Structure 1
Amino acid sequence: MMEALRKRLVELLDGGWAHVTFDAAVADWPQELQGRKPKGASHTPWEVLEHLRLAQWDILEFSRDPHHKSPAFPEGYWPETSEPPLPDSWGRSVAQFKLDLDALKALVESPEMDLFAPFPWGDGQDLAREAMVAADHNAYHLGELMTLRRMLGI
């Protein structure tokens, strides 16, 4: 039963099913559009990508490091600039998101990790909850990236 749950949580983190995958949402963004905010949008693609990375990183670190200090909310979960500061910033953010996602999935897959035992730190959070929060948050903002793609004609 637990192995089946671990498998489902990893599948949820990977996206798909009724959700877009991370790779599909971030693929082939022209550099000149990464920092553009279409009329009616709340954020640029860069802001959304970095928000995804920062939030997932925080969830990962909270889940594995009792000494982790989360960024200030909400400003610590958004980039300082509305566009990538360097030409390779988009690619580096994508790569780091994937590394952190793999690390979170490895925690979920580890038989040594009790999915439902509250962390000794925090306010009763457990790994299953954190994995679902990450998957839910990612799905929401990946949908936002897909909307931005359409608004920008990608």
Structure 2
Amino acid sequence: MQKNKAITDSLKALLLKANAHVTFADAVKGLPAELRGVTPPGLPYSIWQLVEHIRITQEDILEFSRDASYVSPSWPEGYWPKETAPENEAAWKHSLAQIREDLATFIALLEAPDADLFAPFPHGEGQHLFREAVLIADHTSYHTGEIVAVRRMLGAWK
């Protein structure tokens, strides 16, 4: 359906492109490992905690969108890591890879031939794919802005 394609293309642009902000990929690109766990004075989170929060929240929205029996983590502790820094480089890379993979999986839900972007989920209160896509885009954009702000505070932004 052409109308659905236009909406899906717009949602993909919100999820993948910078628009008025930098992309998540650009915000974390080239970040020195020693700064990933630094929490600047006056701020509650390190970049690692923000990245993990994005990963956990996006995974939660994806699973909620495709699995009626999925149970979300408890709020807020289930959405924020306690550790301020990744355990190692592999943990950092795994988190970034999962964000990319889960986003691609969510986009595949949007692009499915039988996708009805506005059909309410049987297990939600008015939630549907369109709403969840906008939620991922908004949430990621907001916290990506925080990552950029922390990088600036740490002198690690271009």
1:150 counterpart residue number: 152
**More displaced 10-residue stretch of structure 1: 95-104 or 18-27:** 18-27
Match of 2:52 in 1: 50
CA distance in 1, matches of 2:28, 2:97: 11
CA RMSD, 1 decimal: 0.9
* Aligned positions of 1:73-84 closer than 5 A: 73-84=75-86
Structure 2 stretches lacking a partner, 5+ long: none
Mapping 1:121-140, distance limit 5 Å: 121-140=123-142
**Which residue number corresponds to residue 33 of structure 2?**
31
Question: Would the aligned equivalents of 1:9 and 1:132 in 2 still touch at CA under 8 Å?
Answer: yes
For the residue of structure 2 that corresponds to 1:71, the secondary structure is coil
Q: Please identify runs of 4+ aligned residues in structure 1 that moved more than 6 A.
A: none
**Which residue of the partner structure matches residue 66 of structure 2?**
64
1:10–1:109 Cα contact (<8 Å) kept = no
How far apart are the structure 2 equivalents of 1:51 and 1:30? Answer: 19
Q: Percent identity, aligned pairs only? A: 49
Question: 1:119-140: per-residue Cα shift (whole Å, max 9, x none)?
Answer: 1112121000000000000000
CA deviations over 1:22-78 (Å, ceiling 9, x no partner): 110111111111000111222100000000000000000000011111000011001
Query: Offset at 1:81?
Result: 0.7
Structure 1 CA distance for aligned equivalents of residues 109 and 153 of structure 2: 36
SS of alignment partner, residue 88 of structure 1? helix
State the TM-score, normalizing by the size of structure 1. 0.97
Corresponding residue number in structure 2 for 1:92: 94
Counterpart residue type for residue 132 of structure 1: V
Match of 2:18 in 1: 16
| Equivalent residues, number | 154
Long gaps (5+) in structure 1? none
Q: Deviations over 1:84-135 (max 9, x none)?
A: 1223211110001000010111111122110000011121210000000000
